[in-house]
Amino acid sequence: MNKTLETRLHDSLVEIIRKTSAELPDDVFKAIEEGRQAEQAGSSAAYAMNIICDNVDIAKRKSQPLCQDTGTVLFYIHFPMKTDYEKLQKLIKKAVVTATKKGYLRQNSVDSITGKNSGNNIGPGAPVIHAEPWKKDHFEIKLMLKGGGCENVGAQYSLPDSRVGAGRDLKGVEKCILDAVQNAQGKGCGPGILGVAVGGDRGTGYSASKEQFLRKLGDRNRNPELSALEERITREANELGIGPMGFGGKTTLLATKITALNRVPASFFVSVSYMCWAFRRQGAKVSNKGEIQKWLY
């Protein structure tokens, strides 16, 4: 990489972080707006949804973090084959440090043994970088900022699970997911969005469940069975009446996204990741000269 490319790529990465932290993607805002309209005027659920919408406006206008917890920083990247990957990794970290200095990210990364905050969001496992080369000659850089409160209410089930009455089939999967929604109430800042992976091992299951958040909320699952399950779960969760913040109301979930991974015969995991309303993800097509060409969400 030459110096100009490095500088441009760094600046583009910082801009992606800024936009992700301060602006809700259109597909998410649309779902929130629909949720707001579904709530009865004058109810505390509508009150909460109105405050959420105001918050989205102010954050965008001021270019300030939507929520003070700027979360775990997760990159999902495709890069041209000829890219120097080590350099790219360094640039990503440098951009995270810059974004922290500029206040787009809070100092949010703590050494798990000593309790010391690194102050710049860099440390073992931070930021999280998933990167793969591809044959195209541009970069695709996606970013997710996942808050701690909603991460804490994620859950993994090993089927069969007698506590929730779940056997090793799609009905069992459905029961686990609804159980996770019930347990998340009042925590994790709902209305929420679910990412689910059926199968895999414990690690790949959680990873894949999180990657579901890269899908647009309005898209359709290509697997008709999973597509139907996604819609059913969102509908059933909203019938629970948990509502925004757990105040009671119609909007408990904005969407459910499910994928399936192969599993070994002995295991059957259902991994559920929960995303709060402050659903921060963005992405950009970045040219091989390091310039942002197009926003992806």
Partner 1 sequence: MAVLEREGGAIQLTAPFTEEKVRSLKVGDMVEITGLLLTGRDAVHKWLHDGNEPSVKEVDLKNSIIYHCGPVMMKKGKNWVATAAGPTTSIREEPYQAGIIEKFGLKAVIGKGGMGEKTREACQKFGCVYLHAVGGAAQVLAERIRAVEGVYGLETFGSPEAIWKLRVEKFPVVVTIDAHGNSLHKEVEASSSSKLGEIVGKIGK
DSSP 244: G
Q: Is 149 in the site for ligand SF4 (CB under 6 A)?
A: yes
Alpha-carbon distance 147 to 248, whole Å?
23
Helix (H), strand (E) at residue 227: helix 224-239
Q: Is 62 in the site for partner 1 (CB under 8 A)?
A: yes
Omega within 30 of 0 (cis) for the link into 191: yes
**Which one of 28-36, 80-88, 143-151, 217-225 is the stretch in contact with ligand SF4 (CB under 6 A)?**
143-151
**Which one of 30-38, 63-71, 240-248, 262-270 is the stretch in contact with ligand SF4 (CB under 6 A)?**
63-71
Q: Is 56 in the site for ligand SF4 (CB under 6 A)?
A: no
Cβ partners under 8 Å of residue 48, min gap 6: 243, 244, 245, 247, 249
User: 3-state DSSP: the chain helix, strand, coil percent, rounded to 5?
Assistant: 40, 25, 35
By C-beta, is 35 or 188 nearer to ligand SF4? 188
Contact between 226 and 260 under an 8 Å Cβ cutoff? The reply is: yes
Q: Is 67 in the site for ligand SF4 (CB under 6 A)?
A: yes
Strand residues in 152-238 grouped as ranges (E): 155-158, 192-198
In this structure, are strands 292-295 and 280-286 parallel, antiparallel, or unpaired? Answer: antiparallel
* CA 195 remoteness from chain centre: 8
By C-beta, is 51 or 130 nearer to partner 1? 51
User: Residue 182 binds what, of ligand SF4, partner 1, none (CB under 5 to 8 Å, by partner type)?
Assistant: partner 1
Q: Is 185 in the site for partner 1 (CB under 8 A)?
A: yes
Q: Of residues 231-260, which lie at the interface with partner 1 (CB under 8 A)? A: 236, 239-248
Q: Is 63 in the site for partner 1 (CB under 8 A)?
A: no
Q: Which residue has the tokens 């105001």?
A: 54
77 strand-pairing partners: 131, 141
User: Residue 236 binds what, of partner 1, ligand SF4, none (CB under 5 to 8 Å, by partner type)?
Assistant: partner 1
Alpha-carbon distance 250 to 56, whole Å?
21
Site string for ligand SF4, 187-226 (x = CB under 6 A): -xx-------------------------------------
User: Residue 71 binds what, of partner 1, ligand SF4, none (CB under 5 to 8 Å, by partner type)?
Assistant: ligand SF4
Alpha-carbon distance 51 to 32, whole Å?
11
User: Applying CB under 8 A, which residues contact partner 1?
Assistant: 42, 44, 47-48, 51-52, 54-55, 58-59, 62, 64-69, 103, 106, 147, 149, 164-165, 167, 171, 174-175, 178-179, 182, 185-187, 189, 236, 239-248, 276-278
User: Applying CB under 6 A, which residues contact ligand SF4?
Assistant: 67, 69, 71, 147-150, 188-189, 276, 278
